[in-house]
Amino acid sequence: MPTEITLTKVDIGMMEDVGTSANQLVQLDSNAKVPAVDGSLLTGMNTTLSGASDPTLSTNPSGVGIKYKNTTDGEMFICTDATAGENVWTNVGGGTGDVKPFLVQGESYGFVMGGNGYSSGYPATLYLNRISKFAFASSSSGTDLADLTIGRQGVNGGKSSTYGYACGGEPLASPQGGRIEKFAFVSTANSTTVGELSVWRSMSSNSQSSGTYVYNAGGNVGPPLGERGTVIDKFAVASDADATNVGDLIEGGHSQSVSFDSTHGYVAGGYNTDPAVGTGSTCIQRFSFATDGNSTDVGDMFVGRFSNEGASSLTHGYSAGGAITAYQNTIQKYAMASSSTGTDVGDLLTSTGDGMGVMDTAYGYHVGGYPGNTNVIQRYAFVSDGNAVDVGDMEQGTATGGSTET
């Protein structure tokens, strides 16, 4: 028996109701082209953005997964985080370099630059020019990546999203004391000189980085002779330039620990300027990235010390090790959002000082240090207070070097 076919009645009048409004039929024009319609109402389209340069943080897509093509070099990016003004564009072409907001903590590697490599400890007789790195993802040993232009100890480390910086160092003279060098995180090329600090400077632990500027505060400064300095200077990372003096610490010193968040740099402890004290400061001070100016006192460490090294979680600054009359093993932390006093939250494996501090999103790392210029990489957790554990070794023992992360 034949299958019955049911015909749907068609209203011929509907065929004449054409246009680009609701419930109308779209009709090609005399050139066989679709008339202008509201593209925001189209769904299921495979959208690709484009421009003559790479996307920026403020290249706002409609959502995750949108493609972007650089029409100049052909590189392609995919949006992997669609947060207005802070979008993450991941490079999926043959090139390198993702577009993402500046991160205080690292995600992949820690770096150590220069330092004292004398195997018998202090005083120094061997100034290193090595740039070394180690991976955060697994317990692993450090490897020799590249070289600084000249060997020195007391280097201050800093960073942008793509480069590491080595600032100043000892001997506190030209060219070591004032030199700013940078090296690319993604290559094995040696560093290059890109500027000069506003003063010769060493032993101020690490620099603070805002993503736009690298800051150096305090330290052993000159010329002509080393003094416990107060100068805060900064240099831009967008273009190679000298540093400029932008403020002063309320309490100068050297060999202090530093931390930072997205808005402020912090300095904790240090060898005090007061000869009558002559030991470790207890002062926790901070300065603003938004406006140039002097630091302010925002709290105290539970016990003063110098030669301590710092790290930063999303909420707290950390100060590990250091010396009073002898080296210590204590790990202290303090809240960065409000004025607060440091608290004892754990211990390093040994009593040590003048190590190098780096951090990823979950851990603070203490690398090397005196006595003995050790090569041990140890880390402590941010999420819960506790002692440090041994997670690897550098390829050479080092103290008083610079450090940073990416």
Q: For residues 294 and 117, which has the higher predicted lDDT (pLDDT)?
A: 294
Q: How many CB atoms lie within 10 A of CB 191?
A: 24
pLDDT digits (tens, 9 = 90+) for 184-216: 999 999 999 999 999 999 887 688 999 999 999
Domain assignment present for residue 388? The answer is yes
Mean pLDDT of 221-243: 88
In a domain, 124, yes or no: yes
Query: What does the alpha-carbon distance between residue 326 and residue 263 come to, in Å, rounded to a whole number?
Result: 34
pLDDT digit string (tens) for 282-332?
999 999 999 999 999 999 998 888 999 999 999 999 999 999 888 999 999
Range of the domain at 131: 109-405
The verdict on residue 372 lying in a domain is yes
Domain contains 364: yes
pLDDT for 169: 92
Closest CA to 204 of 177, 223, 240, 242: 177
What CATH number is associated with residue 353?
2.120.10.80
Average pLDDT, the chain: 88
Domain count within the chain: 1
Asked if residue 279 has pLDDT above 50, the reply is yes
Q: Does any domain span residue 93? A: no
Rounded to an integer, the average pLDDT of 47-58 is: 90
Q: Is residue 95 part of a domain?
A: no
pLDDT for res 150:
92
Tell the residue number behind the tokens 């002559």, with chain if given: 278
Residue that is written with structure tokens 């246009």 in the block? 19
Q: How far is Cα 327 from Cα 372, in angstroms, rounded to an integer?
A: 12
User: How many C-beta neighbours within 10 Å does residue 4 have?
Assistant: 5
Q: What is the pTM of this model?
A: 0.81
- Mean pLDDT, residues 366-391: 95
Taking residues 67-80, report their average pLDDT.
92
Tokens standing for residue 224? 């002509």
- DSSP state at residue 280: B
Give pLDDT, residue 291.
97
Contact (CB, 8 A) for 256 and 301: no
pLDDT at 121 (0 to 100)? 47
Average pLDDT over residues 48-74: 91
Which of 381 and 324 is assigned the larger pLDDT? 381
| Predicted pLDDT at 86 | 84
* 43: pLDDT strictly greater than 70: no
For residue 225, is it within any domain? yes
For residue 365, tell me if it sits in a domain. yes
Return the DSSP state at 71: T
In this structure, the strands spanning 208-209 and 200-202 are: unpaired
